[in-house]
Amino acid sequence: MDLKKLIEPESIAVIGVSLTNPFNPANIIYGKNHYHYKAKTYGVNPNGGQIYGQKIYKSIKEIPEKIDMAVLAVKAGLVPATLLECIAKGVAGAIIISGGFAEAGRKDLQDEIIKISREHDFPFIGPNCIGVYSHPFIDTSFVQNERLIYSRRGNVSLISQSGGILMDLIIKLSQEGVGLSRTVSIGNKAVVDEVELLKYFKNDARTKVIGMYMEGFTADRGRLFIEEAGKLNKPLVLFKSGKTPSGLKAVSSHTASIAGDYVVFSEVLKASKALEVGTMGEFVSSCEAFSAYPKTSIGNNVCIISVSGGHGAMAADSCYSAGLNNVAIPEEDKGKLRSLLSKNIQAIASLNNPLDLTGSTGDDDIFVTTKFFMDKDYVDCIVLLLLPYVPHLSADIGARIAQLVMEHNKPIITYMPHVDKYGIFIDGFETNGIPVAHSVPGAISMAKALSRRKL
């Protein structure tokens, strides 16, 4: 199944635009893509006319140019005939925004469009979805631009059965400074599902990390999903709902998925390369860690370097809960490190793990300490807990620490309070490829993800 034209189309037709309602989903999709994205965009309404000064065609057949992909936002009952028109036009595939199919009790209507797809080798995403975001080509979500929050361009691609959850994940990843490559909302996933998208993203050069929210499988697709997950050469982070009786019922009514026996699914998943997480917060932390270190897997030994004893204690507790080891530092190494520290903290710094360099420390001591442990085989990962209100800390610290990551094949994860006032400190790390958590448990969650990675 070739999904290239669905992800990177050069031209699209939005079918179902309104001549009178600018807030119609099709109108939002049309306007957004016409003005802000690369794909040449055409509008279709059976009455023809104009919107935004642009010609609206009465049918896709009237559009004089070749169309790569169609976005359908019409009543469910009109979708089968509209798909056949797209096929006759030579369109390569479609995104069906429309709801009112299996999730609404119309399995017969969904079966009809599946049959059309199979008979004509015509892939479509949906129905009951918000489709694809793939900069600079398209964004088929019916959310106005002024309400969207998209992060910097990056290497994480998201797959979600729920459009609403997808938008939440985009916001949360953006707040963490994680860059996105592509996002796909699959809704009822009648034809293009997570299995097909894993095949696509496996070979997509722009995708280094795959994050997935899922509710359940359609019949006989669970085994294929596990097989495809096992073939991946890049991280797959998975967050699943439908684990409880109430969740199972909600999943069935939302996207008509078969959630199945969650315990069995979870156990089978452990044998694959997929990383299942239990909360949305853990999902975001894992995606952030892999975005910075997509080819990294570590052991359990963590060294925590802090400028605050309280933050170090909190990190130690989080390590214990995460199954990570606050590795013991040999007495000989403590003595060597103390001799390297500046005189103003030599006598007051605590060099047990977690290390407390105190609020009197600065860039040089943090750099020296971090470099010291980057050279130690008994440390798999370093977690830096930094506070920008420490007087001797400067915005240069991120770039300096990044040098150590480049010189040594060992990950560093940082905690820094996320507020606009401290953005210059955070950017110093993130623009140099070091992830920055907005909470201490979040930083430890990133280390946990790297330790769970199966290469």
Q: Is there a single domain that holds both residue 290 and residue 392?
A: no
Q: Is there a single domain that holds both residue 169 and residue 249?
A: yes
Q: Is there a single domain that holds both residue 172 and residue 124?
A: no
pLDDT for the residue numbered 416 = 95
142 part of a folded domain: no
Residue 104: partners with Cβ closer than 8 Å, 6 or more residues away: 76
Helix axis angle, 423-430 relative to 397-407, nearest 10°?
20
Q: Which amino acid is at 99?
A: G
Contact 238, 277 (CB under 8 A): yes
271 part of a folded domain: yes
Mean pLDDT throughout 276-304? 96
Q: Is there a single domain that holds both residue 95 and residue 154?
A: no
Give the confidence band of 117 by pLDDT, cuts at 50, 70, 90.
very high
Residue with tokens 């994860």: 413
**Which residues are paired to 71 by β-bridges?**
14, 95
Final residue in a domain of this structure, among 257, 274, 295: 295
Q: What percentage of residues in the chain have a pLDDT greater than 70?
A: 95
431 part of a folded domain: yes
Q: Which amino acid is at 8?
A: E
Q: Is there a single domain that holds both residue 333 and residue 419?
A: yes
Contact 76, 109 (CB under 8 A): yes
Q: Is there a single domain that holds both residue 159 and residue 267?
A: yes
Final residue in a domain of this structure, among 276, 295, 314: 295
334 part of a folded domain: yes
Q: Is there a single domain that holds both residue 39 and residue 97?
A: yes
Write out pLDDT tens, residues 301-329.
Answer: 999 999 999 999 999 999 999 999 999 99
144 part of a folded domain: no
CA distances from 102 to 98, 129, 342 (A): 12, 13, 68
**Residue 56 reports pLDDT greater than 60:** yes
253 part of a folded domain: yes
Q: Is there a single domain that holds both residue 284 and residue 184?
A: yes
CATH number at residue 187: 3.40.50.261
pLDDT for the residue numbered 242 = 67
Nearest alpha-carbon partner for 329 in 299, 292, 372: 372
**Residue 253 reports pLDDT greater than 70:** no
Q: Whats the size of the chain, residue-wise?
A: 455
Q: Provide φ and ψ at 154, rounded to 5°.
A: -150, -155
450's enclosing H/E stretch is: helix 440-452
Other beta carbons less than 10 A from residue 398's beta carbon: 24
Write out pLDDT tens, residues 2-42.
Answer: 999 999 999 999 999 999 999 999 999 999 999 999 999 99
DSSP state of 362: B
Contact 13, 70 (CB under 8 A): yes
Determine if the pTM surpasses 0.85.
yes
137 part of a folded domain: no
**Could you list the residue range(s) of the whole structural domain that residue 438 is in?**
296-452
Q: What does the CA dihedral 119, 216, 213, 282 come to, rounded to 10 degrees?
A: -160
| Number of compact structural domains in the chain | 3
DSSP 113-161: HHHHHHHHT--EE-SSS-EEEETTTEE---S-GGG----SEEEEEEEES
Specify burial of residue 384 (Cβ count, 10 A radius: 0-12, 13-18, 19+).
buried
* Out of 4-8, 177-181, 262-266, least confident range: 262-266
Roughly how many angstroms between the first and final C-alpha of the chain, as a whole number? Answer: 27
Q: Is there a single domain that holds both residue 308 and residue 173?
A: no
**Residue 175 reports pLDDT greater than 50:** yes
219 part of a folded domain: yes
pLDDT for the residue numbered 143 = 80
Q: Is there a single domain that holds both residue 118 and residue 159?
A: no
DSSP state of 312: H
Write out pLDDT tens, residues 224-247.
Answer: 888 899 899 999 999 998 665 555
Q: Is there a single domain that holds both residue 249 and residue 375?
A: no
**What is the rounded CA–CA span in Å between residue 372 and residue 202?**
37
**Residue 254 reports pLDDT greater than 50:** no
Q: Is there a single domain that holds both residue 305 and residue 275?
A: no
